[in-house]
């Protein structure tokens, strides 16, 4: 379905229906992971491992920007290469230290 949307214009008559089908499928997939897969995974690991994975995930979110929406009101520390190059050495050292501690 995604390839159909990518090849379409939002003005195409089939676009809204295809988009709704795609979103419905995605939501079912997410719900299944949250209700089935993640609880099983959490039961199979220790609290320490879980806490460590949470830290790694949070740090990764800071370093790897995502765009949920172009107008979303959020500030990613290094959303562009220019921002990364312009970051203070102290900020970069802090992030490297944080990453090193959890790896």
Q: How far, in Å, CA of 65 to CA of 78, rounded? A: 8
For 30, the 3-state DSSP assignment is: helix
Q: What pLDDT is recorded for position 98?
A: 75
Q: What pLDDT is recorded for position 94?
A: 81
CA 94 to chain centroid, in Å, comes to 22
Report field, pTM of the whole predicted structure over 0.75: no
Residues in the chain, overall count:
103
């Amino acid at each position: 379905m995604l390839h159909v949307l990518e090849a379409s214009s939002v003005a195409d008559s089939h676009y809204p229906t295809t988009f709704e089908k795609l979103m419905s499928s995605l939501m079912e997939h997410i719900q299944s992971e949250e209700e089935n897969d993640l609880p099983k995974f959490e039961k199979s690991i220790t609290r320490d491992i879980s806490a460590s994975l949470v830290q790694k995930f949070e740090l990764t979110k800071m370093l790897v920007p995502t765009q949920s929406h172009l107008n979303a009101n959020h500030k990613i520390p290094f959303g562009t290469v220019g921002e990364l190059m312009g970051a203070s050495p102290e900020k970069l050292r802090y992030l490297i230290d944080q990453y090193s501690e959890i790896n």
